[in-house]
C-alpha cells in the first residue's frame, strides 16, 4: 500500500506544470470578448481581415482576428486565394455561409508586400495565387475549419455574407505579441 502511495505522489509531482518548479510563470489569460469582436467589426478603418489581439502564450504567439466577406457570386473566373507561410488559421464561422476552397496545387504565386498590415499584424508572410483544383466545402455558422500554414484558401461563392473568427497559432512569432486593435483602445 505504501509503494502505491509513493508512486501516486510521484506521478502527481511529475504532472505539475513547470511554473510549480520555479520556472517562469505562465502568461495570464487574455480575453477576447464578444464586445471586442463587435467593436472591431464596427470600426470604420480596416479591411475584410482585422486582427483583434495577438497574445504571447509562452512557446508561441496566438492571434485572434475577425473577417467579414460580402456576397460573392460564382462568376466562373479563375479562383484565387491566399496562403500564409508560417501561420495556421482556425476559422470559426459566426454568421452566414459560403463555399470555401483549399488546396496545394497553385499557379502564379505573388508575395504580399512585407510592410502591409495584413502581413505585419494579421497573418505573417503570405502569397496570393490561383487554384489549380482544390477541395470545396460549404461552411456556415458554427462550423470550424483548420487551415495549416502553406495551404492556399479562398472563397468561391458567398450567397449573402460570411463573418468568422480566425484563431492564428504562430510558432515562429512573426505576429506582434501584445498587439491590440486600435478600436479596443478607443473604448
- Is the pLDDT confidence value at 136 over 70? yes
Output the pLDDT for position 1. 47
pTM: 0.84
**Which whole number is the average pLDDT over 167-179?**
97
Distance CA 123, CA 91 (A): 13
The domain 29-185 belongs to what CATH superfamily? Jelly Rolls (2.60.120.10)
The domain ranges of the chain are 29-185
Residue 22: the pLDDT is: 52
**Contact partners, residue 152, CB within 8 Å, separation at least 6:** 81, 82, 83, 102, 103, 104, 106, 129, 131, 134
Bridging pattern class, strands 135-140 and 49-56 = unpaired
3-state secondary structure of 90: strand
Who has greater pLDDT, 16 or 52?
52
For residue 16, the model assigns a pLDDT of 44
Among residues of the chain, what percentage have pLDDT more than 70? 86
Report how far residue 166's alpha carbon sits from residue 154's, in angstroms, rounded to the nearest whole number: 14
Q: Give 27-86 pLDDT, tens digit per residue.
A: 789 999 999 999 999 998 878 899 999 999 999 999 999 999 999 998 888 999 999 999
Amino acid at each position: 500500500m505504501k509503494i502505491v502511495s509513493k508512486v501516486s505522489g510521484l506521478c502527481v509531482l511529475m504532472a505539475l506544470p513547470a511554473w510549480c518548479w520555479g520556472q517562469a510563470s505562465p502568461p495570464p489569460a487574455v480575453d477576447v470578448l464578444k464586445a471586442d469582436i463587435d467593436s472591431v467589426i464596427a470600426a470604420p478603418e480596416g479591411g475584410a481581415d482585422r486582427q483583434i489581439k495577438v497574445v504571447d502564450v509562452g512557446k508561441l504567439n496566438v492571434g485572434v482576428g475577425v473577417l467579414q466577406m460580402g456576397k460573392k457570386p460564382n462568376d466562373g473566373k479563375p479562383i484565387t486565394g491566399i496562403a500564409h507561410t508560417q501561420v495556421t488559421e482556425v476559422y470559426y464561422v459566426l454568421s452566414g455561409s459560403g463555399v470555401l476552397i483549399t488546396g496545394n496545387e497553385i499557379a502564379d504565386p505573388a508575395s504580399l508586400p512585407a510592410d502591409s498590415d495584413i502581413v505585419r499584424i494579421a497573418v505573417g508572410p503570405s502569397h496570393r495565387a490561383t487554384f489549380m483544383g482544390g477541395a470545396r466545402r460549404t461552411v456556415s455558422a458554427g462550423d470550424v475549419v483548420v487551415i495549416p500554414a502553406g495551404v492556399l484558401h479562398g472563397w468561391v461563392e458567398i450567397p449573402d455574407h460570411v463573418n468568422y473568427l480566425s484563431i492564428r497559432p504562430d510558432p515562429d512569432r512573426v505576429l506582434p505579441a501584445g498587439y491590440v486593435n486600435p478600436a479596443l483602445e478607443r473604448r
